[in-house]
Amino acid sequence: MRFLVTGAAGYIGSHAAMRLLDEGHEVAVVDDLSRGHRGAIAALAATGGARLSFHQGCVTDEAFLRRALASSRAEAILHFAALAYVGESVERPLDYYRTNVCGGIALLRAMRAEGVRRIVFSSTCATYGEPDPGSTGIAETTPQAPVNPYGETKLCMERLLRAECAATEGAPLAAVALRYFNVVGCDARGRLGEDHRPETHLVPIALEVAAGRRSEVRIFGEDWPTSDRTCIRDYVHVEDLVEAHLLALGALEPGRFRAWNVGTGRGHSVREVIDVCRRVTGHAIPAATAPRRAGDPPVLFADARAITRDLGFRPMKPALETAVADLWRWMQAHPRGYA
């Protein structure tokens, strides 16, 4: 098949594009390189050769997207392009609405114009907001009440997709939204990694401490109502997340919007994550306590039974140690990331 992947120079988008190339598909990748890495595109090209085409441009540019769709003759879209820092979204909401919502509208308009009617959308558990403190896992039936502009923009896109699926003009859209929890790890073959600028994710930050690039990792609050007094989160390996996207592609139905959570269904505390990083790397990884961050819920993990029931999704790499080891190998081989 022929696919177009937006945000393919970023962390998850590049891994999805690599998997499609590994399976022999033709892949057109779109990125403006404002947050993504040219090194990721080079890694994709090294694998895909002539089956990969790179289109550098902005996801808000409808004419550019139409050209990319027309030249690639894409049959389906994986849409990852977005701004994705919660704190930054509070500081710069206009940027988030422009990229995440206006960009989504531009993509949907371009898809309609070029006759592409299949899309899997990168959504987030941030659309749920702060769960009930007594929650034993967030299910798809949990009310969506985001508490920051990032979550609001992703929920807005889900609503746009639902409306476009129900539209009465033209061929119906087939759409799936996957609501991620925390994503970890990297390509086990060492072709791709995780390299955010700035880095805000716990596992790569802890590994940067182990690599001598930071002096310590910060624990935001040690007075939470959990077993070890630190926050608990659900971590899914990026390769398992990509597998969920391929399963979702097979579940697309014209005129229907569907959404699934993607996680492991279990949580790890901040202290547990840091201890795993210590064991994998053999480094002490000093940790310092910092004040709680506003809006951080104490426990956040997926009730992922629906995607298992409906699509047969089961994480093949559920152990956090596996994801940490994959990323640690890549970081050791690439001490400056993609730079």
Active-site residues: which are they? 150
Query: Which DSSP category does 188 fall into?
Result: T
Other Cβ atoms closer than 10 A to 72: 20
Residue 291: half-sphere exposure toward Cβ, Cα within 13 Å: 3
Q: Which stretches of 157-293 are assigned E, i.e. beta strand?
A: 174-180, 182-184, 217-220, 232-233, 235-237, 257-262, 268-269, 287-290
The residue written with tokens 């120079």 in the block is 9
List Cβ neighbours of 27 (8 Å cut-off, separation of 6 or more). Answer: 2, 3, 4, 5, 8, 17, 20, 21, 44, 48, 51, 52, 53
Is the distance from CB of 89 to CB of 51 less than 8 angstroms? no
Q: How far is CA 237 from CA 15, 131, 196, 288, in A?
A: 11, 23, 17, 26
Q: Which amino acid is at 234?
A: D
